Amino acid sequence: MQKIHLYLIALMLLLAVSPARAQNPAPAPAQEKPIALMNGIAHLGNGEVIPNAVITFRDGKIETVADATRVRLNLDGYEVISIEGQHVYPGFILPYTNLGLVEVDAVRATIDEAEVGEFNPNVRSLIAYNTDSQIIPTVRSNGILLAQVAPRGGVISGSSSVVQLDAWNWEDAVVQEDGGIWLNWPSIYRRTGWWAEPGPIEMNKEYDKRVGEIKQFMDDAKAYAEGTPATINLKLEAMKGLFDGSKKLYIRADNAKEIVEGIKTAQQYSIPEIVVAGAEDAWLVKDFLKDNKIPVLLANVHRLPARPEEDIDMPYKLAGMLHDEGILVGLLYDDLKSNRNLPFFAGTTAAYGLDKEQALQLITSNTAKILGIEDVAGTLEPGKSATLFISEGDALDMRTNKVTQAFIQGRDVNLHNKQKELYKKYKDKYEAGK
């Protein structure tokens, strides 16, 4: 505990003397010394808690996760950090975000998230991911250490990649390259009218046509993947991995029928790795999702019910309802301005049906499995990447979430950010005036 305080004081002093900066703190250097976190409350991310744990990691990988009251470890040569009474978590994962692709929603020049045209599987979010985005450090400060950065727009938006959130450039950041293809399933209904006079909602007359276009594209992609084409077609080339399971198909759909049709269509092309993202109506097609073993990335727990008569807490309890069915559920936060609040989505699901450790899984191990990065991330288990953080209190509750230290690949991440800097700047101003 004392060590932590000293560390923080040192950091504060460092900052106090350094001039105000606009840029992000430098990424942490590689782990040199093995580290042991002693006596913390370890939430493993797999449903288990060790109330008094010892966690060691070396060369960026977790070595030991054990009950400190039962094991004796020789910690010679380790940097030992006492975190008694504090909580340790595996790094939280944002599974669908435009973080690093957009800096200011309203300023077009800062937006790199969508391309022209309807079918762009070859478009890669990774190369546009801006590691110097000022938003990234603020997200990290709440325990989010990994993110799947995905393009949007059109029917097939492009390819997503998973990144860790402390890097010099996208090459350093990448955890999984081009692992997902994002498909926006067409809407059955169409809104009419405009903002101040919303007209009636009508059937989307284009629906069948749009679905037909998707099938045509899938037909072409499958034939391309199975054949030996003479010329390279970038779009179809990017689709190849879907058919051999090396890439995942993320289908964005909210309406019950759209969810079913999207999945059925993908299955028609024998795509093995299918994930539904959004899925507001998942409660209406629970059995279908369960029978087809389709994992779900639920969008925005903090949203309004989709229909006036829906249970007012439907968005809050939906994850629990699906979990109870044995469906693999992760949570996604689709709003750049506040996606650092992902932990509190999980907290809400714990108030509505799940226990806290199950809720934690929705933003750690479940998400890692859904994204296909469970071998390196999602739990505090030996062999996995030492991507984890320490919070003074329960990190799923904003009342107690206070991240004091975070490690990505064993690297001790600088938790400073622009907002803290401005806070300090003005706090100092007012204090000086008194």
Partner 1 sequence: MKRNSLLVLAFLLCGRLWAQESYPINGVQDKRLQRHAFTNANIYVDYQTQLSDATLLIEDGKVVAVGKDLKIPAGTIVEDLQGKWIYPGLIDPYTSYGITKLEEKDRPRYATPQMESSKEGAYAWNEAIRSHFDAVTAFDANEGAAKELRDLGFGAVLAHRNDGIARGTGTLVALADEDAQEVILLPKASAHFSFDKGTSNQEYPSSLMGAIALLRQTHLDSRWYNELSPKPFTDQSLGAFYAQYGMPQIFEADEMLSALRADKLGDEFGVQYIIRGNGDEYKRLGEIKQTGGAYIIPLDFPEAYEVEDPLDEMNVSLSQMKHWEMAPYNPALLAKEEVPFAITTDGLKDKSKFWPNLRKAVDAGLSKEAALKALTYTPANLLNAEEMVGSLEKGRQANFIITSGDLFEDETVIYQNWVQGNPYQLNDMAVADVRGQYKLQVGGESYPVEVSGKMEKPAFKLLKNDTTKYTINTNLSDNLITLTFNPKPEDSLQNHAIRLSGWRDGQNWKGSGRLANGEKVDFNLLYEGALEEEEEKEKEEKTAEEARGQIIYPFVAYGYTEIPEAKTYLIKNATVWTNEEAGIVENTDVLVENGKISKIGQNLSAKNAVVIDGTGKHLTSGIIDEHSHIAIEGGVNEGTQAVTSEVRIGDVVSSEDVNIYRQLAGGVTASQLLHGSANPIGGQSALIKLRWGKTPEEMKIEGADEYIKFALGENVKQSNWGPHYDIRFPQSRMGVEQVMVDAFNRAKAYEQEWKTYNSLSKKEKQRTDPPRKDLELEALVEILNDDRFITSHSYVQSEINMLMEVAEKYGFNVNTFTHILEGYKLADKMAKHGAGGSTFADWWVYKMEVQEAIPYNAALMHGEGVVTAINSDDAEMARRLNQEAAKTVKYGGVSEEEAWKMVTLNPAKLLHLDDRMGSVKAGKDADLVLWNNNPLSIYAKPLKTMVDGVVYFDIEKDKEMREAISQERARLISEMREAKEGGESTQKARPEAQHIWHCEDLHGLNKHIEEVHNR
Which residues would be at the binding site for partner 1 (CB under 8 A)?
A: 103-107, 135, 189, 191-203, 256-257, 281, 284-285, 302-305, 307-309, 311-313, 336-338, 340-341, 344, 347-348, 350-351, 396-399, 401-402, 419-420, 422-423, 426-427, 430, 433
| Angle between the N-to-C axes of helices 234-244 and 207-226, in degrees from 0 to 180, rounded to the nearest 10 | 80
Residue (158 or 343) nearer to partner 1, CB? 343
Q: What is the DSSP string of 207-238?
A: HHHHHHHHHHHHHHHHHHHHS--SS--HHHHH
Residue (341 or 366) nearer to partner 1, CB? 341
Residue (272 or 305) nearer to partner 1, CB? 305
CB 346 within 8 A of CB 360: yes
Residue (76 or 197) nearer to partner 1, CB? 197
Q: How far is the CB of 183 from partner 1 (least distance, A)?
A: 19
Give me the residues paired with residue 222 across strands.
none
Q: How far is the CB of 80 from partner 1 (least distance, A)?
A: 28
Token pair, residue 340, equals 């650092």
Q: How far is the CB of 261 from partner 1 (least distance, A)?
A: 11
Whose tokens are 């990448």? That residue is: 174
Could you give the 3-state DSSP secondary structure of residue 263? helix
Cα dihedral across residues 283, 285, 288, 293: positive or negative: negative
> Any idea of the CA torsion for 378, 104, 278, 129, to the nearest 10 degrees?
-50
Residue (35 or 336) nearer to partner 1, CB? 336
308-to-88, 107, 116, 304, 305 alpha-carbon distances in Å: 40, 34, 36, 9, 7
Give me the residues paired with residue 412 across strands.
407
Q: How far is the CB of 108 from partner 1 (least distance, A)?
A: 10
Contacts of 421 (CB under 8 A, 6+ apart): 15, 20, 21
Q: How far is the CB of 37 from partner 1 (least distance, A)?
A: 22
Phi, psi for residue 102 in degrees, rounded to 5: -135, 135
Residue (106 or 232) nearer to partner 1, CB? 106
Q: How far is the CB of 202 from partner 1 (least distance, A)?
A: 7
**Measured between alpha carbons, how far is 167 from 155 in angstroms, rounded to an integer?**
31
50-to-77, 88, 350 alpha-carbon distances in Å: 24, 10, 19
Residue 317 identity: K
Give me the residues paired with residue 89 across strands.
389
Q: How far is the CB of 139 from partner 1 (least distance, A)?
A: 11
Residue (127 or 304) nearer to partner 1, CB? 304
CB 93 within 8 A of CB 146: yes
Q: How far is the CB of 364 from partner 1 (least distance, A)?
A: 17
Residue (175 or 301) nearer to partner 1, CB? 301
Whose tokens are 């329960």? That residue is: 394
